[in-house]
Structure 1
Amino acid sequence: MRDMNLVVLALAQFLLALDYSIVYVALPGMARDLGLDLGTAQWVVSAYAVPFAGFLLVGGRLADRVGAGRLFVAATALFGVASVVGGAAGDGATLLAARGAQGVAAALLQPAVLGLIGSTFAAGPARTRALSVWGAVGASGLAAGVVLGGLLTRASWRWTFYVNVPVTVFCAVGGLLWLAMRRGTDQRVPLRAALLATGAALAVVLGLTFAGTEGWRSPLTLATVAAGGALTAGFLAGERRGTSTLVDVSLRRIGSLRTGTAATALYMASVGSEFYVVTLLLQTLRGYEPLRAGLAFLPLAAMVTVGSSATARAVRRFGTPPTLAGAFVLAAAGLAWLALGGTGAYATGLLPGLLVTGFAHGMIYTSMFILGGRDVPAALQSSAGALLTTSQYLAGAVTVAVLTLVLHGGDFAVAFWLTAAAAAAGALVAARPGAADATGAASPAGAR
């Protein structure tokens, strides 16, 4: 029974990661068919990432309140409906609305998945194994998205949405058959705080978009940035007063969770956003067709799987923080290679960097969640998982907006250097003394 639980949960995570990256290769086709410019097309990514990040902690509280199993089934159904609407979209507004609905559904689904893993598998080897499988599938989904997107876009970009439907049907039915439908607790759901946080994130990303198209001194840019500042101030005031808090007070005291949250943000600012830069490099600079661009990502996708599979062994031998720090160092090296030679020949310029960053990507993705959830009580696993993923996708949305600003000038080397710097920062965060295992040393005990 537990094996079937893990199959359903891992497949759901594959879907969430896949849908973040599957649109990358399809972006030029979407923009062409629906008349979108680069700044607006960027929102096909951000319209998913921002609601995902903004409502994740609401999803975590809902999972704790109504039960993770029940929320899993409902969120999967919503994701499937939004995918149908996105595939049938006849204009940019409908497409972006569908992506936003997918993001909200993903925000409800992700903490339910992590909560079910945390409550089904006991802390220790069983949970580490489950998270390793889940992480390997999730990291592979992010990498496979660009490959599958290239294959499907050869027929039509609409299939990047329709491909989700059979997966959501299987997960919903599997959830009803195999997942525990326990009742939750009476926790308050902080909807006001989530709306403020989501509005702030939207305003920041929108402000960066306007800065690229209208200029930093534009009244539209300044007004949007000011609105983002006001919403952020309102959100922080509520958190300080405790009147409408997103983050459970007890979670704030867990050091491994704080380190994991920083790691997820820097992961998304580095190898997590690499796909966006490489996709634009291949299609806009080199003129690759979507299928060829997707196939160019195959070596990276394969190495993501290899890296994820090696993580559990590395964690047992070295401990979680050293594994995470080493993976970030590898990522920084691979991204620096791409900055130096990514615009050269594919075999000697892109391929070595893709292989190194792919392996590092798989290790980072799995180990950052192992570390982040390591010391969290089972009852708070959904909320902790939501916090980790909020940091991940919020950082992803902001990073894509920043990279779009840089790439308006066609400077791919600078874009790669920015992601390499984020990976280097991730290594420092993971290596600092506060990230050590509970034993105080990077020992096999830290694998728990």
Structure 2
Amino acid sequence: MPLLLLSLAQFLLALDYSIVYVALPAIAADLDLSLTAAQWVVSAYAVPFAGFLLFGGRLADRVGAGRLFVAATVLFGAASVAGGLAGNGEVLLAARFAQGVAAALLQPAVLGLLGTLFVARARALSVWGAVGASGLAAGVVLGGALTRLSWRWTFFVNVPVTLLCALGGLAWLLRPSPRGGARIPLPGALLGTGAALAAVLALTFPGAALLLSAVVAVLLGAGFALHERTSRTPLIPLALRRIRSLRVGVAATALYMASVGAEFYVVTLLLQTSRGYSPLRAGLAFLPLAALVTVGSAVTGRAVRRFGSPAVLSAGFALAAAGLAWLAVFAGGSYAGGLLPGLLVTGFAHGMVYTAMFVLGARDVPAAHQSSAGAVLTTSQYLAGAVTIALLTLVLTSGSFAWAFGLTAGAAAAGALIAVAAVPGFRPRGIRAVRAE
């Protein structure tokens, strides 16, 4: 039951990131938002999610992952109600920001519990990763169905799930609180979140506002780096910085969101704004991709045990690059002949990458640091997602879907190369290969 509960929570986090994609045109029309402003319905969730994850990881290590799990699910549910009731863009973005903070507390709690409750950690992570990858894919399908009723249901649907998770957490996940521990480095979290927010803003605003946002991002980023170097309680513990498999995992999670993780955004806009699909029809168009994500996730656990996570991760990224390159070339064609083959290939690759990157990243991390390590991995994932969405919005304002798909294909190719460097036996100069599972 605990694994089912933790997987359900991860499904919710992934679902809520992608469920608004198909709803974006309806949200923009109802609340009178431009494409640039509507982008922030996604980014207002991703930026605080990324910025406060490291803080959440340290908080989970100190107060107990089970307690944090319950509190975070309650906060997530309350923010979802606020988003569903929002009467203007400002309230909606504030609710999305609160959802992102709640997600930043919930994610490391989930990963910490996975790392401490299960002896077969890699197997548990495989199941959890498969469910999480399915959540991202299911989000766009469910978003299309719910938006036909009202985009507000894409928020209200979270409420019963959060109630179930909170009650289940009280019943099965509470453990005695850790004793003592270092203070929680909130200043570092605020500096990191501010730097991420300013960086995304710099990709949103033109002219002087762009320059100002870029300067603020650099200054806050420098402050964050200084904090990490000088603080007695850095957000990223020194012990984690020495783990090579975790460093490779961090790069992989970033490139995952810059490739197949961002594919949903581009395909949604292609279908609804360019081809005039209704939200429901767009959601149904994602069904083949969603099905293949589930299949890819299901086979990855066994493949990782046989071939090792670096090899599976590299193969997944290479397959993703091929599928995205197909979309870049043939997205202008019909759905069956142009889009569908690319969606099938990238869907399968998506499931492979999502599961393998977390198995590799957490592989060599001691149980005591599982929450913090999970936070590091997911910080990279969602920060890259926010930056990528901003970049793709700039590209898509000119209507260049081919270039948008091409950029995501390039990110996937880079992921394949980075994962190759972690395959046992691959030892280029200056790179030390990680050990096999």
Structure 2 length-normalised TM: 0.97
Q: Distance between the aligned counterparts of 2:424 and 2:195, measured in 1?
A: 29
Residue 79 of structure 1 is matched in structure 2 by: 76
Q: Distance between the aligned counterparts of 2:36 and 2:425, measured in 1?
A: 41
Amino acid at match of 1:374: R
1:196 has 2:203 as partner: no
1:180 has 2:174 as partner: yes
Q: Displacement, 1:296?
A: 0.2
**Cα pair 2:140 2:286 within 8 Å, conserved:** yes
Amino acid at match of 1:147: V
Choose 231-240 or 30-39, whichever is displaced more: 231-240
Q: Distance between the aligned counterparts of 1:141 and 1:5, measured in 2?
A: 18
Q: Distance between the aligned counterparts of 2:242 and 2:21, measured in 1?
A: 37
Q: Displacement, 1:243?
A: 5.0
1:215-230 matched pairs, under 5 angstroms: 218-230=207-219
1:131 has 2:113 as partner: no
Q: Distance between the aligned counterparts of 2:43 and 2:425, measured in 1?
A: 34
Residue 53 of structure 2 is matched in structure 1 by: 56
Output the aligned Cα RMSD. 1.5
Q: Distance between the aligned counterparts of 1:115 and 1:187, measured in 2?
A: 17
Q: Distance between the aligned counterparts of 1:441 and 1:306, measured in 2?
A: 29
Residue 277 of structure 1 is matched in structure 2 by: 266
1:252 has 2:241 as partner: yes
Q: Displacement, 1:132?
A: 1.1
Q: Displacement, 1:282?
A: 0.3
- How many residue pairs are counted as aligned between the two chains? 432
Of the three residues 291, 299, 312, the one matched with 1:323 is 312
Q: Distance between the aligned counterparts of 2:246 and 2:204, measured in 1?
A: 31
Q: Distance between the aligned counterparts of 1:131 and 1:230, measured in 2?
A: 37
Of the three residues 350, 356, 363, the one matched with 1:374 is 363
Q: Distance between the aligned counterparts of 1:433 and 1:307, measured in 2?
A: 21
Q: Displacement, 1:364?
A: 0.4
Q: 1:436 to 1:362 in 2, by over 3 A?
A: farther
Residue 152 of structure 1 is matched in structure 2 by: 146
Amino acid at match of 1:310: V
1:232-271 matched pairs, under 5 angstroms: 232-242=221-231, 245-271=234-260
Structure 1 length-normalised TM: 0.94
Residue 446 of structure 1 is matched in structure 2 by: 436
Q: Distance between the aligned counterparts of 1:49 and 1:67, measured in 2?
A: 24
Per-residue CA distance 1:108-140 (angstroms, 9 max, x = gap): 000000000000012xxx212211110111000
Per-residue CA distance 1:170-191 (angstroms, 9 max, x = gap): 0000000111323125132111
Amino acid at match of 2:194: G
**Cα pair 2:22 2:143 within 8 Å, conserved:** yes
Residue 115 of structure 1 is matched in structure 2 by: 112
Amino acid at match of 2:29: R
Amino acid at match of 2:151: W
Q: Distance between the aligned counterparts of 1:149 and 1:372, measured in 2?
A: 30
Per-residue CA distance 1:186-206 (angstroms, 9 max, x = gap): 132111011111101111101
Q: Which stretches of structure 1, 4 residues or longer, exceed 6 Å deviation after superposition?
A: 434-437
Per-residue CA distance 1:79-125 (angstroms, 9 max, x = gap): 00000000000000000000000000000000000000000012xxx
**Cα pair 1:64 1:383 within 8 Å, conserved:** yes
Q: Displacement, 1:57?
A: 0.5
Residue 21 of structure 1 is matched in structure 2 by: 18
Q: Distance between the aligned counterparts of 2:242 and 2:282, measured in 1?
A: 44
**Cα pair 2:182 2:233 within 8 Å, conserved:** no
Q: Distance between the aligned counterparts of 1:79 and 1:384, measured in 2?
A: 22
Q: Distance between the aligned counterparts of 1:435 and 1:53, measured in 2?
A: 30
Residue 354 of structure 2 is matched in structure 1 by: 365
Amino acid at match of 1:446: A
**Cα pair 1:117 1:127 within 8 Å, conserved:** yes
Amino acid at match of 1:192: P
Amino acid at match of 1:223: L
Q: Distance between the aligned counterparts of 2:148 and 2:252, measured in 1?
A: 35
**Cα pair 2:19 2:140 within 8 Å, conserved:** yes
Residue 105 of structure 1 is matched in structure 2 by: 102
Q: Displacement, 1:316?
A: 1.6
Residue 31 of structure 1 is matched in structure 2 by: 28
Q: Distance between the aligned counterparts of 1:206 and 1:194, measured in 2?
A: 18
Residue 388 of structure 2 is matched in structure 1 by: 399
SS in 2 for 1:180: coil
1:208 has 2:203 as partner: yes
1:88 has 2:85 as partner: yes
Amino acid at match of 1:245: P
Q: Distance between the aligned counterparts of 2:3 and 2:309, measured in 1?
A: 22
Q: Distance between the aligned counterparts of 1:243 and 1:314, measured in 2?
A: 41
Structure 2: give runs of 5+ residues left out of the alignment: 427-431
Q: Displacement, 1:436?
A: 6.7
1:47 has 2:9 as partner: no
User: Identity across aligned pairs (percent)?
Assistant: 72
Q: Displacement, 1:410?
A: 0.3
Q: Distance between the aligned counterparts of 2:77 and 2:295, measured in 1?
A: 30
**Cα pair 1:63 1:184 within 8 Å, conserved:** no
Per-residue CA distance 1:405-426 (angstroms, 9 max, x = gap): 0000000000001000000000
Q: 1:433 to 1:361 in 2, by over 3 A?
A: closer
Q: Distance between the aligned counterparts of 2:230 and 2:306, measured in 1?
A: 43
Q: 1:435 to 1:17 in 2, by over 3 A?
A: farther
Q: Distance between the aligned counterparts of 2:62 and 2:373, measured in 1?
A: 14
Q: Distance between the aligned counterparts of 2:402 and 2:233, measured in 1?
A: 43
Q: Distance between the aligned counterparts of 1:279 and 1:424, measured in 2?
A: 23
Q: Distance between the aligned counterparts of 2:412 and 2:361, measured in 1?
A: 18
Q: Distance between the aligned counterparts of 2:168 and 2:261, measured in 1?
A: 29
Q: Distance between the aligned counterparts of 1:388 and 1:362, measured in 2?
A: 17
Q: 1:232 to 1:115 in 2, by over 3 A?
A: same
Amino acid at match of 2:187: R
Structure 1: give runs of 5+ residues left out of the alignment: none
Residue 343 of structure 2 is matched in structure 1 by: 354
